Chains A and B, each alone.
Chain A
């Protein structure tokens, strides 16, 4: 990678107190120590090292990967910060990588902005930064710039993260929510609703004990292999907030088509199914952080499915439905029982019910 080499070597700061205080956000030495100790130490890479106000790159580097830049941002405010299967840091890296990858982009660089609540423990911050670093490293992306702010107690909920990512899309690859056509096949790469269920469970309000873990994972290598196997893929999206039902409705609306899914074909972990039955929740609306919905022309569906199943993040990939001519924007499900019902956009948030 060609960057202007300006690596000054200087001793890295360290924080010796247990918790974050407002002085850590003051811009002075305390803040430098916090950034060094927590973030620079964890992220450690050449592009970050100069610690200029911006990371700088040779344009030629990007042009080598394709002809369009992809650029995305996302904020992460999940509560609790740590949950089975991950934490806010891992989520922040995967979420932004995935937003790039579903557009067909190769994710390259991320930024990380942290808003920390006064009183947050430094150790927890180090853990989260470490998690971000490990996730980024496994995914082959670098965190090259960032920002840290400290706000007073109550002004934010422990930690808010915003990550922004850039990637490059190779020439000729065009994906769009408005490209679905009657006859296209709808695929997903595995169990639905794990993340949403894991978070709800971790919050503890319902006093339920489950082994459910978040499916949080970077999906770009899965996406790369499925795009290679089925270059005619129309569209990919990760069904985060609002779940698969929301994504399908968005596609049906954008493409002005109808989509029908088969409830019996939707992959659902037994524990997530039980969790939903107990609380009266519909798993189609639960968030996923390691899943993609794929719309593929029918003749390429077998190849796409095979490619997903051959990948560790797609072992349980399945066909869940089809696009067809019908009321435009309409998503219908044929239920396990044999009847059919509409799967509409959710109004507001799903709340557990007893009735």
Chain B
């Protein structure tokens, strides 16, 4: 597969691993304190586990898995609201597969479906709009999730619905923005991070300029990274080079897809359709100012929150849930008291165990391979 297989080449992997090892050897990394590089994006977390990248790196590098998993940070209360909408008999609730198993306080969407709610999995918001066209007597609600990567697709779908005057389509908007997320991490006193792998597909929309504050103000290297394993290794190498050379820059490793200026058409659709919420609740991270978006008044007929009155109750995370600490990279999944016992993929307490890119799910499914390999 073009633009995929070339970036999974094992010979080039070996070249990069050699370079990384050579570089790290010249860097005087203290024994108990490896270099902490955070990959913000859940897609990177998944790739790292899928290709066994952690086990290929020297022990002086520790990858810290960040909170860039929009499913993982969805608070229970919002899942409850979604279930509430889905359970209405007139509603067809369309959602990405990722959100189906996230636990609400009563049930998840997949449980609601088993109980009779018309919940349908879609690959694209366009497919949800198609369902609305085919079912004029029903109300179709699309569960809008994701960072800036998916904001344009939801927005463009709303604009399409508007131009066709589709009256039975709306969006339950839970889109969140990446910059406040990264800021919350950087402001966290318990974290000591030495560099970042930036979210490649968010950047495809917003460009690289929004991350300048990381390099200039917080003085940390930031490399916008692609998702193939070679992209991830190369980005790690670029972060190391910056650390070694005492630089803090925003670099774009994923230049074949990410334009430095971002995507004008996508950004235009986004600013037309959405405005910032004052604050938005994040599972495990609490409330973050200006971190979520909602539909502008001009598009209120497509806003599920206004079409349906939803309970909008804040549900506290379960007491034993340590999702927040894992999301911020403060503890590793297996250090969470309930990992593998009270919290498993079959009976998840928190979203990190459910989402396929959540750190906990990844560790549970793929195991502690680095530790395992070391033991052999």
Interface membership of A340, Cβ < 8 A: yes
Kindly state the separation between the CA atoms of A352 and B17 in the bound complex, as whole angstroms. 32
What residues of B have a CB within 8 angstroms of the CB of A208 in the complex?
123
What are the residues of chain B within 8 A of A334 when measuring CB–CB? 52
Interface of chain B residues 114 through 143 with chain A (CB within 8 A): 120-124, 127, 130
Chain A: residues with Cβ within 8 Å of the partner, total of: 32
Judge whether B8 and A273 touch: CB under 8 Å. Answer: no
Which residues B92-129 have CB closer than 8 A to chain A?
96-98, 100-101, 120-124, 127
Q: Name B's A-contacting residues (CB within 8 A).
A: 1, 4, 8-10, 13-14, 17, 42-43, 46, 49-56, 69-71, 96-98, 100-101, 120-124, 127, 130, 146, 150, 229-230, 344-346, 355-357, 364-367, 369, 372-373, 376
User: Given A277-B4, A351-B100, A355-B98, does the pair A342, B372 have CB atoms closer than 8 Å?
Assistant: yes
Complex interface: chain A residues within 8 A of B42 (CB): 355
Grouping DSSP codes into helix (H, G, I), strand (E, B) and loop, the A interface class, with mixed when no group exceeds half, is loop
Q: How far is the CA of A319 from the CA of B50 in the complex (A)?
A: 22
Name 11 extra pairs, CB < 8 A, besides A279-B123, A337-B230: A205-B121, A207-B123, A337-B10, A337-B53, A338-B52, A341-B49, A341-B55, A342-B372, A347-B364, A355-B70, A355-B96
The contact of A353 among B97, B150, B229, by CB within 8 Å, is B97
- Neighbour of A327 across the interface among B51, B356, B372, CB < 8 A: B372
5 contacts between A and B (CB under 8 A): A206-B123, A336-B51, A339-B13, A339-B56, A352-B121
Asked if A228 is an interface residue, CB under 8 A from chain B, the answer is: no
**A274 adjacent to chain B (CB < 8 Å):** yes
Residue in B10, B124, B127, B357 whose beta carbon sits within 8 Å of that of A336 in the complex:
B10
CB of A348 within 8 A of chain B?
Answer: yes
A344 lies within 8 A of chain B by Cβ: yes
Smallest CB gap from A327: residue in B: B372
Partner of B366, one of A206, A270, A341: A341
Across the interface, which residues of A come within 8 angstroms of B54, CB to CB? 339
Report chain B residues within 8 Å CB of A338.
10, 13-14, 17, 52, 56
Residues on A with C-beta less than 8 A from B344 are 347
Query: CB < 8 Å: which of A330, A339, A353 contacts B98?
Result: A353
Closest chain-A Cβ to B21's Cβ sits at a distance in Å of: 14
Contact yes or no, A354 B150, CB < 8 A? yes
Q: How far is the CB of B87 from chain A (nearest CB, A)?
A: 20
Residues of A within 8 A of B9 (CB): 337
User: In the bound complex, what is the Cα–Cα distance between A273 and B53 (angstroms)?
Assistant: 21
Are A277 and B1 in touch, CB under 8 angstroms?
Answer: yes
Q: When the two chains form their complex, are residues A337 and B101 in contact, meaning their CB atoms are under 8 A apart?
A: no
CB of A335 within 8 A of chain B? yes
Given A352-B123, A353-B356, A355-B43: A335 touches B345 (CB 8 Å cut-off): no
Which residues of A from 203 to 224 have beta carbons under 8 Å from B? 205-208
Nearest neighbor of B10 in chain A, beta-carbon distance: A338
A355 touches B373 (CB 8 A): no
- Chain B residues lying within 8 Å of A344, measured Cβ to Cβ, are 364-367
Q: Does A280 contact B (CB under 8 A)?
A: yes
Q: CB of A80 within 8 A of chain B? A: no
Interface pair B229/A326, CB less than 8 Å apart: no
- Point out the residues of chain B lying under 8 angstroms from A352, CB to CB: 97, 121, 123
Partner of B1, one of A205, A273, A280: A273
Contact A335–B372 (Cβ < 8 Å): no
Query: Are A354 and B50 in contact, with the CB atoms below 8 A?
Result: no
Interfacial chain B residues near A335, Cβ < 8 Å: 50-52, 229
Q: Contact: A340 with B373, CB < 8 Å? A: yes
A327 CB contacts on chain B under 8 angstroms:
372
Contacts of B14 in A (CB 8 A): 338
**Are A339 and B97 also in contact (CB < 8 A) when A347-B345, A355-B71, A355-B357 are?**
no
Complex Cα–Cα for A334 and B55 (A): 11
Chain A residues, Cβ within 8 Å of B98: 351, 353-355
Flag if A340 contacts B121 (CB, 8 Å). Answer: no
Residue of B nearest to A282 (CB): B50
| A341 contacts B43, C-beta separation under 8 Å | no
Q: Which 7 pairs, one residue from A and one from B, show the smallest C-beta to C-beta distance?
A: A339-B52, A351-B97, A347-B345, A342-B367, A338-B10, A337-B51, A341-B52
* CB contact list, A233-288 vs B, under 8 A: 270, 273-274, 277-280
- State which residues 89-116 of A face B: CB under 8 Å: none
B101 close to A351 (CB less than 8 A): yes
Closest residue to A264 on the B side, CB-wise?
A: B10
Chain B residues whose C-beta falls within 8 Å of the C-beta of A326 in the assembled complex: 376
CB distance from B116 to the nearest CB of A (A): 12
What's the nearest-Cβ distance from chain B to residue A280, in Å?
7
The CA of A34 and the CA of B78, in the complex, are separated in Å by 52
The answer to whether B4 and A339 touch across the interface, beta carbons within 8 angstroms, is no
A351 CB, min distance to chain B CBs, angstroms: 4
Residue of A nearest to B344 (CB): A347
B-facing residues in A312-355 (Cβ within 8 Å): 326-327, 330, 332, 334-342, 344, 347-348, 351-355
On chain A, the residues within 8 Å of B100 by CB distance are 351
> Nearest chain-A residue to B11 (Cβ)?
A338
Contacting residues, chain A, for B123 (C-beta < 8 A): 205-208, 278-279, 352, 354
**Contact indicator B367/A355 (Cβ below 8 Å):** no
